[in-house]
Structure 1
């Protein structure tokens, strides 16, 4: 808590309160769209005006009520992607189109007009496999694949487009007054928030009136949808009802409510639909406040197609309708047609980029608290890990390390010699992460503030002055990261000369960047604040934090003159944030339910491109009981970003403070993380080069098995390791679902084998005929893997009793002193009579071949082998990475390919 004049700021100010945050009924553009759409306003396409150019096909769309023309553009993009853009033909001023998210201008494929007349138009890609069938009246687009309609656009008639208008006070004539896209009386205008929208004590003045957009998509044959983070909700998206839409609006929600569709820290307006044989994606490129309604119509077994006793019957497929609504901008949507999950991941990464390759240290364990008090505290905690023989890689410092919450400074009393502190960490090959938020304390003696103000680098209020809001330092201004010059300047603050006391082992954490404004509407910035280019904050709210992480990552790269990979953690994010670092799930609570919900939250982030994600171990808010803390460490060790963190008013909870038995269990969990680091690193390389998620829901690996589509209490790491964390108190057994009727699963500790396609109480697996795997290695920190191709990427295969180690990428070259210490061959029914090795003159092999063979465990109800607290249920499919490097692992289950 810090006094700021007559006011005080405390974390309790941010506690969840439904009066602070809006539900859908309080969102004016949602109410308007629902009211207007109930009248079934119709749009008609003017297809006789269609023109096909090099990049796109254009045609007009006319609203029957307003008669104001829209222009639609359909693009074909490399890799089976379609893009649809709809904008006003002649807006009063340009409408906001989201920049900087797409990695580059997508390469277009010329669409060929297959057939067309005044009533319809058919466009096909070059191969002819995918077609867009456009119907004129009413306007509709069907996406056809192999003669089957897989998606329809505007089939429900929910296209909605509010046109920019002359400000109300300038509209002197009746004609102007009638030129509005919403036909309402004057007294209705206040209720519908056309020109002003009230929420509590705040009034949002809209200079150009209402400007919202909306469109519906019908997904034929699909009833399983995923994506659109961030919500503390199930992995599979649920049906919504009036007033219960998924909200995408980045907000600082302290101790957020779980099983709720309210928006929290980040937004990725991208969802996937999956069914056996097909995966689709919809990427709605809009950074304003967005709502998504979902309604699944289950399959109807039979329907009558004619009357009378001879009525024919036919099966009607299930269908899921998705209705997107955004406050402003244009309709700019990408349709990713798959057909496989991997194809959709590749298509999305082609548009927004892949996960940045992390430095190796960042995959280890991170120790954080708000706040470690001073240099002596840091030294003592660091020594505690050594004393208790617990590995860790990164020490973190929260806001209290600064001089009065002034970022890029150090508290002179608490941290008088920050370089010495960092050298202590460096001597043990450890790193330091410090916080840097977007708000800048208004202080004429603070050089960062003075320089930013002199150059006009702050967001402005609607009257033209610098926007001012309250955050941790008290009264603050907010850097306008949407301005390229501001990002360039901010990146320069990370140089050693500018950031006094920093060294090359210091990395950055961006927090509060939704942005958080303590006394603002919904604890964030007013929507009519002004950004670079004279754009209102409402247009780009959800992308603000994305820009700060971008500038921070670039600053760390520039600091090393382009040689070293950055590490940046951000709380707020958008589509494409994966290019710049890691994300976490924010201010969670030390309760079992938050441990449990972390799994679907991280799975949803992972499938929407953000593989480097995690949840604060132990829960940020509150004091976990020992059992919960241990279980959380065991779970966190198998999640991509692994950090322990707690707020300032909690009891200290370093891993050794809960008794020797619990210390041992936590030590074992963290060591298991480090034992698997080669596997983690290889998975991140695949995420970086091929957009394959590190943490995967079962349906990705088993896309034809319906039983996997709703599973969210277990998941795969890569294609080999199945993880089922314990998320209930006093659990002695866990029911683990093993997918795959032809799969083999192994307990990597006992090497027991079990068959797939069943639920068991202990890890299981079958026989081994073949297995495949990969191993990736580089220096762990630089960009040499990219610029000089200094990496090692090996492929392993085991077939007919022969293990082959070959090169997976011949471009790579990296001399390594790594040796093969042990090779385990699992699943043989009897001991082989001999083992033969072959090698060229360049290689000398020194290893002990240990062959494990065991019978198949077929019983359904095998009890858990361990009732102690430290047991973690994980299973593995046989992987040749396991055959190459076998660390001491916990009870794990690996998957084996036949």
Structure 2
């Protein structure tokens, strides 16, 4: 096809995509499996446990389930997992062929615990530790108890629906079956499905889905008995607290799709799908992980944030909560029911139970936590280096320059356009010499070009995803005609990973980062801008079975390639758009193609909060918006917000105006500079909480309910967030704002709260409730919680790696008891040496007028030049007259106290090395 036609198709695609046309994407009514399963309305569930089929093993039980409407048999397996978690599966007992079960999401096989079982004709009780699951036999449901509290019920709404595999009946056979039904006066709802539109084939906007296996949907409802709000199931551009969907439009949809300039306040599917949901109330938190990679819809009912005013008044007078507890109805197109029940009982415990299953995010290199500069596209080598030097000229820190698709030779990945980038290795080295890095894009679509080695290899070796006829699938993406490697095949994944090795991709570096985009996968001429569902993958699985996992399987290959590229030395940095459960083991995530609008700035917080509680903490949004040209105020406010979010990158569409900070008015540039420099001053704190995230699985960016689970006022707040349990951030996200309301939570649902200190002037806040905080162009309300110690570095350099040996400042914020604790993590900031004990992990404590330091992991060690430059103590009633440093060798030194004010004072130059095993500073 001609280059001109390719350009025309591309242009038409962009024009259509700039304003989201909902008609390009399915509704539940247009997805036949969703429509069927959503409309299930049994008075009594037809599913029952078959008598005398219970089998008891050390760690699990099994029993048969029968659908009384058609006699079809299923097998239930239920087991207990260490740490307040149950797991159950429901699959066909004798399917015509195996059904797909996800095998690539869990980090490892869970640790199962012994179960005790008692049974009667009406129920089966499975006890694991202090918890139990009570299985009602007729009709089938499972009640899960956290200790003796009923927390979650599966199938309490009788929405269970399992479409078994069957052969399609044709002609006389179909007629004979109908006559037998009439003769025997039997109604088989599953057989009636045979005649419903969309069961054996389906059309959408000119695309035909053959559905060779017929209807294969699975659906089940879950009730969260102790909850007021539900949250999770990213990715959606919607509020953090999920909204009621029953009787109120479409369910939330999980189906990885390429959606340009997505709509806000929407349940439409976006780039990623993480099927974990949590319910939270004052009595506890529970969660459900629905392990299924097929297209999935989730109906939400009974959430308290959807109550109207009259309902709220009635419940208040009656002293009750909603009559019906919140529920979630999961509907997937194929696969099995594979469910993990997380019993908390606190939010943080539930989050940890989930990440213990699917893995913790890895500690990134320090440069990845710094600021990233990107656009589609920097023009050439001179442009890249000019921008890098301009950051120095304007004294703005920056760690990474990014290249989008235009750096390649005609959109062929693992190549360079040598007209624009004649010396890529030299360019990369020049950035490295400045203390900076380069990240470039590698997408999964492969240009069908007979002069392209990657395409030729994939064609010759049969590495591409196949059509239902067994031919290489062809779709359209940035290169024009393209095909897609089948990353589910280990051989293909290794071939792809091998391309990152220096011996194969010479114009590369062991330190470059990689950006995997368009990996939903995006197919411009496909149904819903993605791949046909009846395409075939390794093992004979249809694309419909594995769609939401495709992008993650590319990440598995990318991660492997980058690990081997550096001989297992350097931690890879990868950014991905598509994601699923477990993506955090490989990559950071950003929120996709947003727009330069205030609403998109606001949406970044609930979107990243939802990802964080779903295990993916390394999250951010395109600063300034990908589409459009941000006004100066919006641009600076976005920088101020993103400076306190885990992933910090500015990015823009090819058709936008250039927007490097110095291209804005001088005042705007200075505000942006201030925000970025503030980010860099907190790098020791960021690095420490990233390490603790890997160690514990706890989210880095947290909703307020994680720290304050008893304060009902925070359950639906998504304009505020916390970093770890130490900083409270309330960004300014409204045009022209001179004040913003900040809510300071209560600990026990009463008027007792924490003490907070404004990080800019150490002003003290010691009350619960909302406070109107005055802001100016530079001001973002950020507060350090009393009782915490935060490490910072105040010598800001051009990049993070150049700050490696710089000294530490400790900010000690005291609670009401004049006590505080904090941690600091130090290593080489780039290698895996820390996993061999080459690190320092320190705990600081201020108590009874003494600040002390100790090694948390005494067996670990790291030779650092970092030392303690100053200590800022906030919240002490009286400034001490002197301070004395004592080291582990019992040497003592008098220290100078300076900058004393009503709110704080500084201990100047203690000078103690961070390698010192123990030291203390005593105030007199």
How far residue 396 of structure 1 moved from its aligned partner, in angstroms, is 0.3
Whether the 8 Å CA contact 1:823–1:884 is kept in 2: the answer is no
Whether the 8 Å CA contact 1:162–1:211 is kept in 2: the answer is yes
Aligned mates of 2:895, 2:27 — CA distance in 1: 63
Whether the 8 Å CA contact 2:227–2:283 is kept in 1: the answer is no
Aligned mates of 1:591, 1:556 — CA distance in 2: 36
Residue 852 to residue 159, structure 1, CA distance change in 2 (3 Å): farther
Aligned mates of 2:450, 2:67 — CA distance in 1: 54
Aligned pair 1:20/2:28, yes or no? no
The equivalent of 2:33 in structure 1 is 29
Out of 63, 70, 78, the residue aligned to residue 66 of structure 1 is 70
Out of 196, 200, 205, the residue aligned to residue 201 of structure 2 is 196
Q: Helix, strand or coil: the match of 2:874?
A: strand
Q: Helix, strand or coil: the match of 2:298?
A: strand
Q: Helix, strand or coil: the match of 2:52?
A: strand
Aligned mates of 2:314, 2:456 — CA distance in 1: 72
Q: Which runs of structure 2 are paired with 1:489-500 in the superposition (5 Å)?
A: 489-500=495-506
Residue 432 to residue 168, structure 1, CA distance change in 2 (3 Å): farther
Whether the 8 Å CA contact 2:141–2:153 is kept in 1: the answer is yes
How far residue 485 of structure 1 moved from its aligned partner, in angstroms, is 1.1
Out of 204, 207, 211, the residue aligned to residue 212 of structure 2 is 207
Deviations 1:644-678 (A, max 9, x none): 00000000000100121111111111100100000
Aligned mates of 2:246, 2:320 — CA distance in 1: 29
Whether the 8 Å CA contact 2:884–2:893 is kept in 1: the answer is no
Aligned pair 1:95/2:68, yes or no? no
How far residue 843 of structure 1 moved from its aligned partner, in angstroms, is 6.8
Out of 696, 705, 717, the residue aligned to residue 702 of structure 2 is 696
Aligned mates of 1:344, 1:76 — CA distance in 2: 15
The equivalent of 2:245 in structure 1 is 240
Q: Helix, strand or coil: the match of 2:69?
A: coil
How far residue 404 of structure 1 moved from its aligned partner, in angstroms, is 0.5
Q: Helix, strand or coil: the match of 1:37?
A: coil
How far residue 847 of structure 1 moved from its aligned partner, in angstroms, is 5.6
Aligned pair 1:116/2:119, yes or no? yes
The number of equivalent residue pairs is 849
Whether the 8 Å CA contact 2:200–2:210 is kept in 1: the answer is yes
Aligned pair 1:783/2:859, yes or no? no
The equivalent of 1:750 in structure 2 is 761
Q: Helix, strand or coil: the match of 2:670?
A: helix
The equivalent of 2:738 in structure 1 is 732
The equivalent of 1:82 in structure 2 is 86
Residue 663 to residue 301, structure 1, CA distance change in 2 (3 Å): closer
Mean CA deviation greater in 196-205 or 359-368: 196-205
Deviations 1:746-803 (A, max 9, x none): 12222221113121123678756111111111100000001x2101100011111111
Q: Which runs of structure 2 are paired with 1:212-611 in the superposition (5 Å)?
A: 212-242=217-247, 243-296=249-302, 319-611=325-617
Aligned mates of 1:228, 1:460 — CA distance in 2: 30
The equivalent of 1:625 in structure 2 is 631
Aligned mates of 2:422, 2:188 — CA distance in 1: 62
Q: Which runs of structure 2 are paired with 1:645-664 in the superposition (5 Å)?
A: 645-664=651-670
The equivalent of 1:818 in structure 2 is 866
How far residue 844 of structure 1 moved from its aligned partner, in angstroms, is 7.5
How far residue 122 of structure 1 moved from its aligned partner, in angstroms, is 0.8
Residue 330 to residue 175, structure 1, CA distance change in 2 (3 Å): farther
The equivalent of 1:864 in structure 2 is none
Mean CA deviation greater in 322-331 or 135-144: 135-144
Residue 303 to residue 846, structure 1, CA distance change in 2 (3 Å): closer
How far residue 153 of structure 1 moved from its aligned partner, in angstroms, is 1.1
Aligned mates of 2:120, 2:884 — CA distance in 1: 71
Residue 170 to residue 545, structure 1, CA distance change in 2 (3 Å): farther
Q: Which runs of structure 2 are paired with 1:670-689 in the superposition (5 Å)?
A: 670-689=676-695
Q: Helix, strand or coil: the match of 1:61?
A: strand
Q: Helix, strand or coil: the match of 1:527?
A: coil
Aligned mates of 1:226, 1:708 — CA distance in 2: 13
Residue 412 to residue 69, structure 1, CA distance change in 2 (3 Å): same
The equivalent of 2:856 in structure 1 is 808
Aligned mates of 1:656, 1:303 — CA distance in 2: 57
How far residue 35 of structure 1 moved from its aligned partner, in angstroms, is 3.5
Residue 140 to residue 481, structure 1, CA distance change in 2 (3 Å): same
Aligned mates of 1:42, 1:800 — CA distance in 2: 66
Aligned mates of 1:170, 1:808 — CA distance in 2: 74
Q: Helix, strand or coil: the match of 2:756?
A: strand
Q: Helix, strand or coil: the match of 2:492?
A: helix
Aligned mates of 2:280, 2:319 — CA distance in 1: 27
Residue 752 to residue 123, structure 1, CA distance change in 2 (3 Å): same
Aligned mates of 1:425, 1:514 — CA distance in 2: 31
Residue 258 to residue 883, structure 1, CA distance change in 2 (3 Å): farther
Aligned mates of 1:694, 1:302 — CA distance in 2: 37
Whether the 8 Å CA contact 1:293–1:324 is kept in 2: the answer is yes
TM-score by length of 2: 0.88
Aligned mates of 1:40, 1:806 — CA distance in 2: 61
The equivalent of 1:862 in structure 2 is none
Aligned mates of 2:635, 2:891 — CA distance in 1: 47
Aligned mates of 1:181, 1:780 — CA distance in 2: 60
The equivalent of 1:157 in structure 2 is 158
The equivalent of 1:835 in structure 2 is 883
Aligned mates of 1:757, 1:2 — CA distance in 2: 63
Residue 297 to residue 592, structure 1, CA distance change in 2 (3 Å): closer
Aligned mates of 1:708, 1:48 — CA distance in 2: 48
Q: Helix, strand or coil: the match of 1:382?
A: helix
Mean CA deviation greater in 527-536 or 277-286: 277-286
Residue 515 to residue 847, structure 1, CA distance change in 2 (3 Å): farther
Whether the 8 Å CA contact 1:303–1:316 is kept in 2: the answer is no
Whether the 8 Å CA contact 1:827–1:853 is kept in 2: the answer is no
Mean CA deviation greater in 375-384 or 843-852: 843-852
Whether the 8 Å CA contact 1:826–1:852 is kept in 2: the answer is no
Aligned mates of 2:910, 2:646 — CA distance in 1: 23
Whether the 8 Å CA contact 1:752–1:854 is kept in 2: the answer is no
Aligned mates of 2:612, 2:514 — CA distance in 1: 22
Residue 820 to residue 289, structure 1, CA distance change in 2 (3 Å): same
Residue 145 to residue 326, structure 1, CA distance change in 2 (3 Å): same
Whether the 8 Å CA contact 1:76–1:83 is kept in 2: the answer is yes
Aligned mates of 2:891, 2:509 — CA distance in 1: 41
Residue 735 to residue 666, structure 1, CA distance change in 2 (3 Å): same
Out of 623, 632, 641, the residue aligned to residue 635 of structure 1 is 641
Residue 548 to residue 752, structure 1, CA distance change in 2 (3 Å): same
The equivalent of 2:142 in structure 1 is 141
Aligned mates of 2:374, 2:452 — CA distance in 1: 27
Q: Helix, strand or coil: the match of 2:145?
A: strand
Residue 172 to residue 842, structure 1, CA distance change in 2 (3 Å): farther
How far residue 846 of structure 1 moved from its aligned partner, in angstroms, is 8.3
Out of 754, 762, 771, the residue aligned to residue 820 of structure 2 is 771
How far residue 879 of structure 1 moved from its aligned partner, in angstroms, is 15
Q: Helix, strand or coil: the match of 1:361?
A: helix
How far residue 602 of structure 1 moved from its aligned partner, in angstroms, is 0.6
Aligned mates of 2:772, 2:146 — CA distance in 1: 42
Aligned mates of 1:720, 1:879 — CA distance in 2: 20
Out of 38, 56, 73, the residue aligned to residue 60 of structure 2 is 56
Q: Helix, strand or coil: the match of 2:740?
A: coil
